[in-house]
Amino acid sequence: MVGVKSRREDLRPIVTKSIKKKITEDEVEDERVGEGNEQPLSPASRLFHEPHFNCYILAIMGCTKRVDPDIVKAGLETTLLRHPTFSSIQVVSDGKTGEMSWIRVKVDLEKHVIVPEIEQGMDSHEQFVEHYISNLSRTTIDTSRPLWDLHILNVKTSEAESVSIFRIHHSLGDGTSLMSLLLACTRRTDDPEALPTVPTQKKRVVQTRTGGFSRPFLALWELFLLIWNTMVDVLMFIATLMFLKDTETPLKGPPGVEFTPKRFVHRTVSLDDIKFIKNSLNMTINDVALGITQAGLSRYLNRRYCEEKLDKGATEKKNNLPKKIRLRAALLVNIRPSPGIQVASALCYKVMSRTTMSFTNLVGPVEEICFYGHPLAFLAPSVYGHPHALTINYQSYMNKMTFVLAIDPDVIPDPQQLCSDLEESLKLIKNTIISKAMRT
């Protein structure tokens, strides 16, 4: 594979005494790139250069036709490469202080757009795609060029005619901003000049029968709940940092799980079913996604614990879960200043390694979109390089919801079964609501 190295190696940025000299095999773009014009990396970007957080974001895109690499390269030239972080490398401008900066370079797309030769007559295209993406998690991108690449696999799967994988180092931005940038490279299929339409969150209106006299008290009560919940979250964070750990379950990875290769699987369900549950229970999409996840993980863990107790007459229909089990998902936020990056990395690693998994839910376009003229059948983002054996990402697109699992196969050997448990949990919740509605 072009421009990659082992995941076990730390992502070491280039060190240079003078940024006016040639700093990579690519040429500095022009005179605009000179001393005094470099942009320093943010604390969050520097955090993702630490060994335990060498994270990469994957955007897996299924297209309804074969991808033409030349058309894609032409599109990247006029869109993505205009963004500074996608046409810059990251260098250490001062080896003593470790200060890092962005330096603009001339991008050679031949080194970033990778089209592997596909063996004809393979047994399973789905398995080939899955193995290819998994192999990406074994490697890192060469730091002598901008930290992103695009892999085009012109193989037909059950969902798409071809699959493309954007791999982007997390130091280039957070998942939400990078997904927004990726969507900016697409256009609506029904209007090639229009950008995708992404729904915005509407403020929930709570219907009450109280008069105007009681409204100030309700506002004070909501403020009290906000303060109380914030205090609880802060105390839980401190407790996790100090001593509180999740229960050791078949979902929790061992130390060093951030360095192990991951396996990526996904499953697509009806977004209308999720909206039906949301409206029936007066919830949000995120609430429903969390509920599905909790129910699916419970079903999966119950089966795993059942397998351990088969000699004691256990069955899947019974509750085999431990009486007390703590299973939490983590969200990484870096709020420390630049001089404390190593300390921030150690603190974040300690907190994340004491939780079980990561969870995200991203909103996607409501209509079909094209990636440089190639209509998308599905969009499945994920991430690897952080200390969790399980990451679940939900991504909406048109009238579909895709959940993507990034797992350590040594910890979760049957990820397709976990996908089925999540899908079955959605069906059970929906059917329960329908049954109760029919009885009333």
Question: What average pLDDT does this structure show over 240-255?
Answer: 93
Q: Which residue's entry shows tokens 């869109």?
A: 79
Angstrom distances, CA of residue 126 to CA of 59, 129, 164 = 17, 5, 13
SS3 for 377? strand
Using only the alpha carbons of the chain, give its radius of gyration: 24
Is the pLDDT at 18 greater than 50? The verdict is no
Q: Which amino acid is residue 393, in one-letter code?
A: N
pLDDT tens figures, 249-308: 999 999 999 999 999 999 999 999 999 999 999 999 999 999 999 999 999 999 999 988
Q: What is the pLDDT of residue 158?
A: 92
Residues 6+ apart with CB under 8 A from 181: 80, 83, 173
Q: CB atoms < 10 A from the CB of 401, how many?
A: 25
Catalytic residue among 170, 266, 374, 388: 170
Q: What is the pLDDT of residue 303?
A: 94
Q: Are 7 and 259 in contact (CB under 8 A)?
A: yes
Q: Would you list the domain boundaries of the chain? A: 1-199+255-270+338-409, 216-244
Angstrom distances, CA of residue 141 to CA of 56, 144, 213 = 10, 9, 62
In the residue annotation, 386 being an active-site residue is answered as no
CATH superfamily to which 1-199+255-270+338-409 belongs: Chloramphenicol acetyltransferase-like domain (3.30.559.10)
Classify residue 93 by burial, with Cβ atoms within 10 Å: 0-12, 13-18, 19+.
buried
Residues 6+ apart with CB under 8 A from 147: 89, 90, 141, 168, 169, 171, 172
pLDDT tens figures, 79-88: 999 999 999 9
Tokens at 69, concatenated: 């690499």
Closest CA to 237 of 387, 357, 354, 385: 354
Between CA 312 and CA 161 the distance in angstroms is 48
Residue 425 is inside which H or E element, if any? Answer: helix 415-439
Is the pLDDT at 411 greater than 60? The verdict is yes
